[in-house]
Structure 1
Amino acid sequence: MSSTFVTLSSGMKMPMVGLGTWKTTPEQVREAVLCALDAGYRHIDCAAIYGNEKDVGEALKERVGPGKSIPREELFMTSKLWNTKHHPDDVEPACRKTLEDLGLAYLDLYLMHWPMAFERGNLEMPKNDDGTMRYADIHYKDTWRAMENLVTKGLVKAIGLSNFNARQIDDILSVAKHKPVVNQVECHPYLAQKELMAHCSRNRIQLIAYSPLGAPSRPWACPDERSLLDDPQILNVAEKLKKTPAQVILRWQVQRGVACIPKSAKPSRIKENIQVFDFTLSDEDIKKMESLNCNKRLTVPPIEVNGQSEWRDAKNPFFPFHDTY
């Protein structure tokens, strides 16, 4: 059986399965976090852009800390720096705002959410009149150096990346005093990220899968599109093992060494998603899962370029999906 934890290059132990909070409304997230903590989760993944960190903080206040059921040191808390806060002068204030909202003295992990910077300011998605994004000419290497100061000051235990490709990871490694301990990316059976996973492994960077179940509730999904959870191959394995499709997918990730942060606001699914350490996929099951890979991204909405929808932003060289991985 796989371990429930992975030891990061910093020496910290991170739970292999955590609760994702993307697209969980402020009204839902407090109960979701409470349910997760009571179900045994000790890894909560947050981000400033999700707009619900204050509500996550309310849940933590009920369960975590002196006199509560969960000591702070048993909890692994992650958050992310948003694209409008990439300027070195904005990094620490953004982190402190997240800490204030979560009611924490420190984060276990702080990630650069994306490699490209948006225009500075308080408008989260600054856009031009034609609907395209307004970017800032700030290199992620300069942002990284400012994030390293957060480690030095004790505001965060470790720092990492999100949505970075191999070339961009190498850029960071070329200047890093505090090396990234993780890279969090979209990863599921349709997008196995095998090459990126190998590149991260060579550099002692742990891969974390967001949307590991294929983000079935994403608003831009085609109405007639089959959900990953309904894929016949996955259903076949799930039926054989008497497990749910979600458990089979998460077990596949954990068994190959990829941490996961599935999101749900439903108590039954939250409890189900962490129950993946009491069974093992066979070699045959693994082959079935691997056969599904088609490098299909599900979580990045199409961008209008010259009147046509594309799955990459041709106007920004930092957009991570220009490269193969």
Structure 2
Amino acid sequence: MPMLGFGTAAIPLPPNDELIPVFIAAIEAGYRHFDTATLYGSEEALGLALAQAQRQGLIKNRRDIFVTTKLWCSDAHPDLVLPALKKSLQRLGLEYVDLYLIHYPVRLRQGVAGNISKGDVLPFDIKGTWKAMEDCSKLGLTKSIGVSNFGARKLSELLQNVTITPAVNQVHIFPVMYE
């Protein structure tokens, strides 16, 4: 995994015709790791940019790029993980991602992405959801699996029930967060 990654979240999300040139410029600047997520809405634009970059010869093949994407909380259920990853792969235009993460250690009802209320939170089957993540890895749809925004308690709970250890716990921190 490249040490430096290019994040693809933006509020508000620009249209694809504005995002694609940004991603192409990042590739030209040397970025080889792109971090996206279902929640961000940027998977399609990133996939189009990667295809364009390959056509332009900026990257030789898929192995030249490292792509991380994330399972959104409304799909954090054993029966929904694989279909969610397949949708992400379709939007990205890829056969696999390099790293697939559980975005947050919580499950939300379908359709919830912002302004979360107590009624939106559902029971989270951490063991079953992780097993489904492991299945995605075994199918070759992701090279590595991990978590994002897990605290010590949730991570300890998860580690008691794994066959494949999470490759990473990506933690959401940015400079203006603590001002």
- Pairwise same-fold verdict (TM > 0.5): yes
Cα pair distance change 1:134/1:59, threshold 3 Å: same
Q: Aligned residue for 1:58?
A: 48
Following TM superposition, where does structure 1 have runs of at least 4 consecutive aligned residues deviating by more than 6 angstroms? none
| 1:23 and 2:10 correspond | yes
Identity percentage of aligned residues: 39
Kindly indicate whether the alpha-carbon contact (under 8 Å) linking 1:126 and 1:134 is maintained by their aligned counterparts in 2: no
Q: Which amino acid aligns with 2:125?
A: H
1:80/1:113 contact within 8 Å kept = yes
Shift of 1:126: 7.9
Structure 1 residue aligned with 2:136, among 135, 150, 159?
Answer: 150
Across the aligned residues of Structure 1 and Structure 2, the Cα RMSD in angstroms comes to: 2.0
Structure 1 126/76 Cα, relative in aligned 2: closer, same or farther at 3 Å?
closer
Number of aligned residue pairs: give it. 175
1: CA distance, partners of 2:176 / 2:125: 30
| AA in 1 matched with 2:57 | K
One-letter amino acid of the counterpart of residue 33, structure 2: H
1:137 aligns to 2:115 (yes or no): no
Quote the offset at 1:54 in angstroms: 0.9
Contact 1:49 1:124 survives alignment (8 Å): no
Q: Secondary structure at the match of 1:100?
A: helix
Residues 159 and 165, structure 2, Cα contact 8 Å, conserved in 1 = yes
- Superposed displacement of residue 127, structure 1: 7.1
Q: CA deviation at 1:172?
A: 1.5
Looking at CA atoms only, which structure, 1 or 2, has the larger radius of gyration?
1
In structure 2, the residue matched to 1:39 is: 29
Equivalence for 1:249: none
Query: Could you tell me whether the CA contact under 8 Å between 1:79 and 1:111 is conserved in 2?
Result: yes
Change in Cα spacing, 1:184 to 1:144, as seen in structure 2 (3 Å) is same
Instruction: Name structure 1 gaps, 5 residues minimum.
Output: 1-13, 188-210, 216-295, 299-325
For 1:154 and 1:173, locate their aligned partners in 2 and report how far apart those are by CA, in whole Å. Answer: 22
Q: Indicate if the aligned counterparts of 1:126 and 1:133 stay in contact, CA closer than 8 A.
A: no
Aligned mates of 1:214, 1:126 — CA distance in 2: 20
Give the Å deviation of 1:132.
4.0
TM-score, normalised to structure 2, is 0.89
